[in-house]
């Protein structure tokens, strides 16, 4: 079934609804096919997950090697036990067709735990989980990788939001993973993450286990022209017109940040304007901000006055190179540089601000616009 609205706001459907990323798709595919593991870094909502799915979609269709493709999002995991369970669920459930025979084989293979097949409550499909004691998580993890290795199949495993492992309370998780991973000749990895500093530190600091173990790709914006052609095609198929000028306006409004552009295009597509002008774009953005208002209000309620002050000041300016510059502090009546630095650190940590090469910006572009236009 085709999506009703061609501008997806989550997930991946097929290359038809996926704009460009030709070069990136080739680059990732080629690295994987040549036995290089990859690190993919980009801010949230830029399109990392989409790119991974697009690469796997294409590789699977080309089907040169009867390989298995696994995608694991570890954002919700809080410890090694959850990571291990999540990996088991993803890999064991898909590597083999689940049957009593397979269950017997798994039970013989796993020593530190007991594989259990159950029905997925939502889909009714059989799934595997591993019954293990938390203290054994490291050992069970080793066995899951061992099971992948023993399958003899070529495997591709993408671990999304990989920086999450640095938050686990157990010590030495990175070293543990690294030690297992390097002895898996038939498994290639994509480590993807949105916390730039954390990811860069993990993969390019000589002190860390994953140091120089992967090819690093930083994912940027989709180019304006290819995005425009992608969008215009869907409007013209629907007998409507999205003029170049209007597309440029909305692309620049969101600085090319994928999800924000998709959100506006999705709304424009829902409407019936043709040709679509700037006012139509503005109306869509305002509708979105209105709907989000209560959430934005409660975001603010969780912050200190200093944090709100700094966030609002950055929203007003758009991009701020140095939050300690005197004229910036004065212009926005901010307190001493020291308290601004404390607020900055916390806002970066909470992912309310993002550190770009040009300076700090409000991470969520719609929230940034709302902050700028709202008296607080």
Ligand X SMILES: Nc1ncnc2c1ncn2[C@@H]1O[C@H](COP(=O)(O)OP(=O)(O)O)[C@@H](O)[C@H]1O
Q: What does the binding site for Mg ion look like in residue numbers (CB under 5 A)?
A: 48-49
- Stretch near ligand X under the rule CB under 6 A, chosen from 6-14, 128-136, 279-287, 309-317: 6-14
What residues contact 290, with CB distance under 8 A and at least 6 apart?
none
Distances (CA, A) of 311 to 260, 294, 354: 20, 17, 11
Half-sphere exposure for 47 (CA within 13 Å, toward CB): 26
Q: Site for ligand X (CB under 6 A): which residue of 74, 217, 222, 288?
A: 222
In the chain, alpha helices (H): 22-33, 48-62, 80-95, 100-109, 137-150, 173-181, 196-204, 224-237, 244-253, 258-270, 278-301, 305-317, 326-331, 337-349, 365-373
Residue 21 near ligand X by CB under 6 A: yes
Residue 193 near ligand X by CB under 6 A: no
Instruction: Please tell me the distance from the alpha carbon of residue 336 to that of residue 330, in angstroms, as a whole number.
Output: 10
Residue 175 near ligand X by CB under 6 A: no
Q: Residue 203 binds which one of ligand X, Mg ion, none, with CB within 5 to 8 A depending on kind?
A: none
Tell me how far, at minimum, the Cβ of 14 lies from ligand X, in Å.
11
37 to 96, contacts with ligand X by CB under 6 A?
42, 44-50
240 to 269, contacts with ligand X by CB under 6 A?
258-259, 262
Tell me how far, at minimum, the Cβ of 67 lies from Mg ion, in Å.
22
Tell me how far, at minimum, the Cβ of 366 lies from ligand X, in Å.
13
Tell me how far, at minimum, the Cβ of 49 lies from Mg ion, in Å.
3
Residue nearest to ligand X (CB): 47
Nearer to Mg ion, 48 or 365 (CB): 48
Nearer to ligand X, 19 or 190 (CB): 19
Q: What is the DSSP string of 277-339?
A: -HHHHHHHHHHHHHHHHHHHHHHHHTS-HHHHHHHHHHHHHS-BS-TT-HHHHHHTT---HHH
Instruction: Please tell me the distance from the alpha carbon of residue 103 to that of residue 127, in angstroms, as a whole number.
Output: 11
Pair type for strands 359-362 and 353-356 = antiparallel
Q: Residue 55 binds which one of Mg ion, ligand X, none, with CB within 5 to 8 A depending on kind?
A: none
Q: Residue 18 binds which one of Mg ion, ligand X, none, with CB within 5 to 8 A depending on kind?
A: ligand X
Backbone phi and psi for residue 214, each to the nearest 5 degrees, phi listed first: -140, 165
Instruction: Please tell me the distance from the alpha carbon of residue 135 to that of residue 206, in angstroms, as a whole number.
Output: 29
Q: Residue 45 binds which one of Mg ion, ligand X, none, with CB within 5 to 8 A depending on kind?
A: ligand X
Tell me how far, at minimum, the Cβ of 258 lies from Mg ion, in Å.
11
Question: Residue 147 is encoded by which pair of tokens?
Answer: 């099971």
Q: Residue 19 binds which one of Mg ion, ligand X, none, with CB within 5 to 8 A depending on kind?
A: ligand X
Nearer to ligand X, 45 or 365 (CB): 45
Nearer to ligand X, 217 or 320 (CB): 217
Q: Site for ligand X (CB under 6 A): which residue of 19, 98, 137, 311?
A: 19
Radius of gyration of the chain (CA): 23
Nearer to ligand X, 19 or 137 (CB): 19
Residue 228 near ligand X by CB under 6 A: no
Residue nearest to Mg ion (CB): 49
Instruction: Please tell me the distance from the alpha carbon of residue 207 to that of residue 87, in angstroms, as a whole number.
Output: 26
Judge contact between 173 and 165, C-beta under 8 A: yes
Judge contact between 129 and 110, C-beta under 8 A: no
Question: Residue 258 is encoded by which pair of tokens?
Answer: 């994928």
Tell me the residue length of the chain.
Answer: 376
Nearer to ligand X, 214 or 306 (CB): 214
Residue 376 near ligand X by CB under 6 A: no
Tell me how far, at minimum, the Cβ of 215 lies from ligand X, in Å.
18
Tell me how far, at minimum, the Cβ of 46 lies from Mg ion, in Å.
9
Q: Residue 25 binds which one of Mg ion, ligand X, none, with CB within 5 to 8 A depending on kind?
A: none
**Where on the chain is the footprint of ligand X (CB under 6 A)?**
8-11, 18-21, 42, 44-50, 222, 258-259, 262
């Amino acid at each position: 079934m085709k999506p009703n609205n061609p501008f997806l706001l989550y997930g991946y459907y097929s290359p038809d609804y996926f704009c460009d990323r030709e070069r990136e798709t080739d680059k990732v595919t080629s690295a994987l096919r040549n036995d290089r593991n990859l690190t993919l870094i980009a801010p949230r909502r830029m399109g990392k997950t989409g790119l991974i799915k697009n690469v796997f979609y294409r590789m699977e269709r080309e089907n040169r090697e009867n390989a298995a493709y696994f995608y694991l999002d570890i954002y919700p995991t809080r410890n090694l036990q959850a990571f291990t369970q999540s990996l088991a669920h993803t890999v064991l459930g898909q590597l083999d067709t689940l049957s009593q025979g397979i269950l017997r084989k798994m039970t013989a293979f796993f020593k530190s735990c007991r594989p259990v097949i159950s029905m997925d409550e939502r889909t009714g499909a059989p799934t595997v989980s591993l019954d293990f004691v938390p203290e054994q998580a490291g050992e069970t993890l080793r066995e899951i990788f061992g099971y992948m290795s023993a399958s003899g199949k070529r495997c591709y495993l993408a671990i999304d939001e990989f920086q999450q492992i640095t938050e686990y309370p157990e010590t030495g998780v990175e070293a543990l993973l690294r030690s297992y991973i390097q002895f898996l000749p038939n498994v290639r990895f994509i480590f993807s993450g949105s916390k730039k500093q954390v990811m860069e530190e993990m993969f390019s600091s000589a002190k860390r286990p994953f140091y120089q173990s992967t090819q690093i790709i930083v994912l940027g914006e989709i180019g304006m022209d290819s995005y425009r052609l992608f969008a215009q095609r869907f409007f013209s198929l629907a007998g409507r017109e999205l003029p170049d000028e209007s597309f440029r306006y909305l692309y620049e409004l969101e600085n090319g940040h994928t999800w924000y552009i998709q959100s506006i295009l999705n709304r424009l597509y829902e409407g019936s304007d043709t040709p679509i002008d700037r006012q139509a774009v503005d109306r869509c953005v305002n509708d979105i901000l209105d709907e989000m208002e209560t959430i934005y209000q409660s975001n603010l309620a969780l912050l200190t006055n200093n944090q709100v002050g700094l966030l609002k000041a950055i929203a007003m300016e758009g991009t701020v190179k140095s939050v300690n510059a005197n004229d910036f502090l004065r212009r926005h009546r901010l307190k001493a540089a020291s308290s601004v630095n404390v607020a900055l650190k916390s806002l970066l940590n909470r992912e309310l601000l993002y550190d770009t090469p040009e300076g700090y910006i409000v991470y969520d572009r719609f929230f940034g616009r709302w902050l700028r236009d709202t008296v607080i």
